[in-house]
Amino acid sequence: MKQPFGVILAGGQATRMGGGDKGMRMLGAESLLARVASRLAPQVAALALNANGDPARFAASGLPVIPDSVAGFAGPLAGVLAGLDWAAAQGADTIVTAAADTPFFPCDLVPQLLLASEGMAHPLVLAATPHPDRGSIRHPTFGLWPVALRDDLREALEGGLRKVVLWTQAHGGREALFPDEDAFFNVNTPEDLARAETMI
Instruction: Render pLDDT for 134-167 as a digit per residue (tens, 0 to 9).
Output: 889 999 999 999 999 999 999 999 999 999 999 9
Question: What is the pLDDT confidence band of residue 185, given thresholds at 50, 70 and 90?
Answer: very high
Output the pLDDT for position 19.
57
Output the pLDDT for position 176.
98
Determine how β-strand 26-27 pairs with β-strand 30-31: antiparallel
Q: Mean pLDDT for the chain?
A: 93
Question: What is the pLDDT confidence band of residue 198, given thresholds at 50, 70 and 90?
Answer: very high
Question: What is the pLDDT confidence band of residue 13, given thresholds at 50, 70 and 90?
Answer: low
Query: Which range is least confidently modeled, 46-50, 51-55, 111-115?
Result: 51-55
Question: What is the pLDDT confidence band of residue 22, given thresholds at 50, 70 and 90?
Answer: confident
The answer to whether residue 10 scores a pLDDT higher than 80 is yes
Pick the CATH number of 5-199 from 2.30.110.10, 3.10.20.30, 3.90.550.10, 3.40.50.2300: 3.90.550.10
Give the global pTM. Answer: 0.94
**Domain residue extents for the chain:** 5-199
